[in-house]
Amino acid sequence: VASGIRPVFKSVDTCAAEFEAETPYYYSTYESGETEVEIPGDGRTVVILGSGPNRIGQGIEFDYCCCHACFALTDAGYETIMVNCNPETVSTDYDTSDRLYFEPLTLEHVMEILRVEQSAGNLHGVIVQFGGQTPLKLANALEAEGIPILGTTPDAIDLAEDRERFQQLVQQLGLKQPVNGIASTDTQALKIAKDIGFPLVIRPSYVLGGRAMEIVRDMAQLERYINEAVVVSGDSPVLLDSYLSGAVELDVDALSDGTQVHVAGIMQHIEEAGVHSGDSACSLPPYSLPADIIDEVKRQTDALARALNVVGLMNVQFAVKDGEIYLIEVNPRASRTVPFVAKATDSAIASIAARVMAGEPLSTFPMRAPYADVDYDTMLPLADPMTLADPNMPWFSVKEAVLPFARFPGVDTILGPEMRSTGEVMGWDRDFPRAFLKAQMGAGMVLPSSGCAFISIRDLDKGPQMIEAAQVLTGLGFTIVATRGTAAWLGAQGVACQQVNKVYEGRPDITDLMKDGGVQLVINTTEGAQAVDDSRSIRSIALYDKIPYFTTAAAAHAAALAIRAQSEGGVSVKSLQGAEG
């Protein structure tokens, strides 16, 4: 660029010269000749930046948002220009946008495209919120080049992403966060960890998919993390958070036009806080939280959206422990939960957000009428998707992650803060256990109806939730085997069970029983590096022998309720067209 060497754009004929192509796509090349891009010049244009190559943590959910933005803005009279470089996406289909540039998502490539598009003088702006972290990182540089950014300003995006600035905002709003600290050097990180105490969650700034996040349980593990996983510096600080063990995590998606805020969905994670939101099953609406907690979550979400001056979509993650709400993080962009919320509520929140970002007020989209009180079998027509829905629906939608562990021999299946799922499914029903059951079926997990359940849980999980799960299973005729500590605790609670050896306590042990086909369900929660390592072979056998296994107490409890729902029969399929009945 500094030398005056600029690319030209050539077209790919999507009709193979059989007849004139109305939807060609373009690529850049450094050669002589004229740019072949044809700009009609008779309408305002919006450029939407995609997410680039699919990978774990940034995938098709963002492509969904980009597509719906294209469709909604086209309906509103805009010309839409899509920039992406992944042929596997729908956003790069020939008929999604008015023009497609098949280019990498780098500043140089994007600026060359915008130079061509600006030549007609009709560029309304660029949307960076819908492609995940990749386009979001270009926002400041594009703004510095004089490019209008639609929606939330780059400064507000940076305010939410920059751990230090965000901490100041949280304090101003009077919200709670887990005890935390920000380290710019290795020495600082070690000192902060000592002050906070273990276990803790450590993560870099500006990451997506929980990349390089880790739950650290002792100083030796922290030193290994600093030496091997990240380079800690002033430009790349790390955030250390106290790990809220046993907390319930929430994901909240909201829409805002800068003045009005609409909470589109509140999702309760079924796995505990510390498991990445992309890997955790979740329920919309929440299935076990009281109304006062939900109301306070809505209030805090509203306050954050206004303070950040969000225009478009926003995602907030909270953790609830002992009746207190803790703010984990805020992302002023589309999140991977948007397609799930849209499907669960039948409200096209990505489409609405695109039009809000283009300048329409949120009041353009009316609030939907209250849900009708109908019986289980009554079918109601689908609502207008361009209306806003109350997220407290009279039905449950459960999202379950699809995890590719079987394709990677030797990998541990225990879930943590770094995302590893490659897809998701959704189960829907009028009560939570049946919705969870359908989600498990969709993810390929066949829950047993009888047999033997193995239970080995950490001390923190020895409470009412696991007592109920064990009682449900024994009530359905399951026999229970448990390791020494768990067996003693279950016996004291009046739950009949047999004791089995842990892996290192002598043969035969639990792995022998599993290999012999004597276990049909595994419930195994662990804490501490040694315990996690000791129980790894249990999870490995469960994976490869296709034994349903659950590594958190909340998921095990939900599974027990789902098994009971399965035993009651009557699980049926309903058409999406009647999904609100």
For 91-123, write each residue's pLDDT tens digit: 888 788 888 999 999 999 999 999 998 887 789
Is residue 286 a contact partner of residue 267, using CB atoms and an 8 Å limit? yes
Q: Judge if 317 and 290 occupy the same domain.
A: yes
Q: Judge if 48 and 66 occupy the same domain.
A: yes
418-475 confidence digits (pLDDT tens): 677 778 899 988 889 999 999 999 888 899 999 999 999 988 889 999 999 999 999 9
Residue 165: inside a domain: no
9-29 confidence digits (pLDDT tens): 888 877 777 877 777 788 898
Residue 85: inside a domain: yes
329-345 confidence digits (pLDDT tens): 898 988 889 999 999 99
38-88 confidence digits (pLDDT tens): 887 677 999 999 988 766 555 678 889 999 999 999 999 999 999 998 887
Domain end (from 207, 242, 277): 242
Q: Judge if 476 and 559 occupy the same domain.
A: yes
Q: Judge if 41 and 63 occupy the same domain.
A: yes
Residues 6+ apart with CB under 8 A from 235: none
Q: How confident is the model at residue 492 (pLDDT cuts 50, 70, 90)?
A: very high
CATH number of the CATH domain containing 88: 3.40.50.20
Residue 295 confidence (pLDDT) above 80: yes
Domain end (from 217, 242, 267): 242
> Domain range spanning residue 227?
179-242
Q: How far apart are the first and last CA of the chain?
A: 59
Is residue 151 a contact partner of residue 311, using CB atoms and an 8 Å limit? yes
CATH number of the CATH domain containing 259: 3.30.470.20
Q: Judge if 191 and 294 occupy the same domain.
A: no
Averaged pLDDT, 239-243: 84
Residue 402: inside a domain: no
Q: Judge if 429 and 461 occupy the same domain.
A: yes
CATH number of the CATH domain containing 472: 3.40.50.1380
Identify the CA nearest to 538 among candidates 529, 551, 527: 551
Across the beta sheet with 214-216, the strand order is 180-183, 238-242, 200-204, 214-216
User: Distance of CA 179 to CAs 326, 483, 489, Å?
Assistant: 10, 34, 32
Instruction: Tell me what pLDDT residue 519 has.
Output: 93
Please provide the average confidence, as pLDDT, over all residues in the chain.
Answer: 86
372-389 confidence digits (pLDDT tens): 777 777 776 678 899 999
Domain end (from 371, 393, 415): 393
Residue 162: inside a domain: no
Q: Judge if 222 and 284 occupy the same domain.
A: no
Domain count, the chain: 4
